[in-house]
Structure 1
Amino acid sequence: MTVFIALLIDRICGEPKQWHPLVGFGNIANTCEGYLNKTAFTNSRQKVNGIIALVIAVLPIVGLFSLISSALLSYPIAHFIYSAVMLYVAVGWHSLIAHANAVIKPLTDNRIDEARLALSMIVSRDTAALDETEIAKAATESVLENGADAIFAAIFWFCMLGVPGVVLYRLSNTLDAMWGYKNNRFLNFGWAAARLDDLLNFIPARLTALSYAVVGDFTTSLRCWQQQGFNWKSPNAGPVMAAGAGAINTSLGGETSYDGKLQFRPVLGPIESAHTLASHQSIQRAGDLVNKSLLLWLFALGLMAWLL
């Protein structure tokens, strides 16, 4: 019931427009990084400082919410409201679909510049020179990957460890997004944050991939997951996007540009053809896949609650 109420709040209210807790946490993380991450340090010192920064940024907050959760156990209604609100803050379902729709609409109307601008809000790759197919491919990949990160992993850790679990996951995921870059500044300093995020996403990512397969083209999804999922640079994004690409019969991956540097990524999904090219429809299908998977999770959680 708590998960359902949190998702309902998210559906009605959307992402908090002001005073989002993760913005404040980002400021804390930036302060820690500013003091502890110096390029003059040796690689090993940067790694150690990255671990220290991770502990300083995350542990006190998780500890605080653990104390609050324990204190409210004697007050079931207050605990229920508190849990639902905290999960709502951590889940990004409405935001994910809204960002996808912001790309779909101009792409459908052939307003390519507007589509590129909307896409730039949700991806880190260079978008200025992308054509229609490349925009659709990037947006589809983002929806599939962030479905796992922003929705299913958060729900998983809430179900496993309650509010402290979802707080731990969301803070770690945020630090990975801030520090997980493989450049001179963050390669060593962000190592701990990236590994913790990989660890926390390992099981949820595979449950998400399985969910995509169940509600999509099951056979193609499993085949793509098995054959392509482990060729990706991310141990968790690979299975999720390969399974998702197969589930909606769309070819993803391939070369793209980050910070002016061309990267060659493995192809995900069916072999590219006129039938499997990404388009505004593939973005919509990815969003529908996430929504159907969410319904599957709600059904499974409801069934487990009834049986227990």
Structure 2
Amino acid sequence: MTLIAILLVLAIERFVGAVDHLRHFGWFRTYSRWCENRLSTRSLWQGPFGVIVILLPPLLLLAVIIQALHSVTPVLDFLLACAVLLYCLGPADLGHQVSRYTEALEAGDRNAAAEAHAAFINHHWHPYGPLGGTLASLLEQANVRLFAVLFWFAVLGPVGALLYRLTAELYRHYHEVHGGFANSIRDLYNLLNWPTTRLSALGFALAGNLVDAIEGWRRAEARSLAVNEDVLIESGLNALQFPQVYDTDADDTGSENVAAGSTTAGEPHSEDIISWIEMARGLENRTLIVWLSVLAVMTIAGVVS
């Protein structure tokens, strides 16, 4: 049932269209602020207890509803699981945002391109230049918006998918805050991302250039055990062989800041940007196929229900 639910939800995303308008987490932000206003003065709040207080009630409520529906009929249980998974993806459709960006580039509309780019860019500076930052953001966002949600749904069901999405929402609002509560959110977020980033890195390796992807993973892992994003990005970029092309172009132009295909430092051609983005999106899609294939084998073997 897990595989069927995932395939059904992905089909809805692909053929019905983005459902971003249904994915609102304002209720959770209001609820978390309410908890913080009433409990932030207590010493227990400044640590894991505060995170548990915020996350446990909605997760427990979902678990109770699932159990109640399952006792009536498994069909209702399945439909709720699909609805929760669909709700937890995103929350914004990455493919739609990227399409807006590439269409603006093709049209030569710099303002529209900049606005669309800001919707998914996380890495404003990157060792491989602006284009490297764009590709790094795509790889990271693919994990946050899709792969991690699918993984925790497969492991813990709808509760796992909601756990990851709510944790990601907390992290998005508290990642620049310092304190025991914010640190606990970061720790939980990193813990949830640890297996998904490495499985995504493995998927990138299998779906792209295996040797270079594994080498990029190895270099990133050697820095620290808390390098989820580095592992994901280095393996993904090396699977695309972007660093090798970047280094070649940098040597040819004599500038260390020139991204692949650029004529001036930090200003790649629109055609090159679109080409690399399409390759990155292709890598993500092939990695998704690898994941689904493995899940199908595990389902047939009875490892996953």
For Structure 1 versus Structure 2, the TM-score category normalised by the shorter chain is 0.7 to 0.9
Task: Name 2:10's counterpart in structure 1.
Answer: 7
Is the Cα contact below 8 Å between 1:157 and 1:169 reproduced in 2?
yes
Paired residues for 1:287-298 under 5 Å = 287-298=281-292
Counterpart pick for 1:178 among 173, 196, 199: 173
CA, structure 1 residues 272+23, in 2 after alignment: closer, same or farther (shift >3 Å)? farther
1:158 and 2:156 matched: no
CA, structure 1 residues 287+145, in 2 after alignment: closer, same or farther (shift >3 Å)? same
Amino acid at match of 1:140: L
Aligned to 1:272, the other structure's residue is in SS state helix
5+ residue gaps, structure 1, are 252-268
Counterpart pick for 2:76 among 56, 75, 78: 78
Amino acid at match of 2:159: P
Measured after TM superposition, the shift of residue 88 of structure 1 is 1.1
Counterpart pick for 2:297 among 296, 303, 306: 303
Counterpart pick for 1:205 among 185, 190, 197: 197
Report the Cα distance in structure 2 between the residues aligned to 1:208 and 1:166, rounded to whole angstroms: 17
1:228 and 2:220 matched: yes
Measured after TM superposition, the shift of residue 206 of structure 1 is 0.4
Structure 2 length-normalised TM = 0.80
Is the Cα contact below 8 Å between 1:229 and 1:243 reproduced in 2?
no
Is the Cα contact below 8 Å between 1:5 and 1:84 reproduced in 2?
yes
CA, structure 1 residues 17+221, in 2 after alignment: closer, same or farther (shift >3 Å)? closer
Paired residues for 1:256-271 under 5 Å = none
Paired residues for 1:181-200 under 5 Å = 181=176, 185-200=177-192
Counterpart pick for 1:248 among 217, 240, 245: 240
After superposition, the C-alpha distances for 1:201-248 in whole angstroms (9 at most, x for unaligned) are 111110000001100111111111112355489621111111100011
CA, structure 1 residues 281+35, in 2 after alignment: closer, same or farther (shift >3 Å)? farther
Counterpart pick for 1:65 among 62, 67, 78: 62
Is the Cα contact below 8 Å between 1:212 and 1:243 reproduced in 2?
yes
Task: Name 1:96's counterpart in structure 2.
Answer: 94
Report the Cα distance in structure 2 between the residues aligned to 1:105 and 1:114, rounded to whole angstroms: 9
More helix by share: 2
Amino acid at match of 1:114: A
Task: Name 1:256's counterpart in structure 2.
Answer: none
CA, structure 1 residues 270+53, in 2 after alignment: closer, same or farther (shift >3 Å)? farther
Is the Cα contact below 8 Å between 1:10 and 1:94 reproduced in 2?
no
Amino acid at match of 2:96: A
Amino acid at match of 1:221: A
User: Identity of counterpart residues, as a percentage?
Assistant: 23
Measured after TM superposition, the shift of residue 52 of structure 1 is 4.1
Amino acid at match of 1:195: D
5+ residue gaps, structure 2, are 251-258, 261-267
Is the Cα contact below 8 Å between 1:3 and 1:84 reproduced in 2?
yes
Counterpart pick for 2:249 among 265, 274, 290: 274
Amino acid at match of 2:64: L
Report the Cα distance in structure 2 between the residues aligned to 1:94 and 1:120, rounded to whole angstroms: 13
Is the Cα contact below 8 Å between 1:229 and 1:242 reproduced in 2?
no
Task: Name 2:31's counterpart in structure 1.
Answer: 28
Structure 1 length-normalised TM = 0.80
Aligned residues between the structures: 277
Is the Cα contact below 8 Å between 2:121 and 2:138 reproduced in 1?
no
Aligned-pair Cα RMSD in Å: 2.8
- Is the radius of gyration larger for structure 1 or structure 2? 2
